[in-house]
Amino acid sequence: MAAIRIPPTLRAEVGGVRQLEAHGETVADVLDDLVERHPALGPQLLADGELAPFVNVFVGGEDIRTLDGTETAVRNGDSLILLPAMAGGA
CB distance 28 to 70 below 8 Å = yes
Choose between 32 and 58: whose C-beta lies nearer to another protein: 58
Which segment (25-33, 34-42, 55-63, 70-78) binds another protein by CB under 8 A? 55-63
Site membership for another protein, residue 7 (CB under 8 A): yes
CA dist 45 and 51 (Å) reads 6
CA dist 77 and 1 (Å) reads 6
Greatest distance between any 2 Cα atoms in the chain:
40
- Contacts with another protein in 12-41 (CB under 8 A)? 18
Which residues sit at the interface with another protein, rule CB under 8 A?
Answer: 5, 7-9, 18, 43-44, 52-54, 56, 58, 61-63, 65-66, 81, 83-90
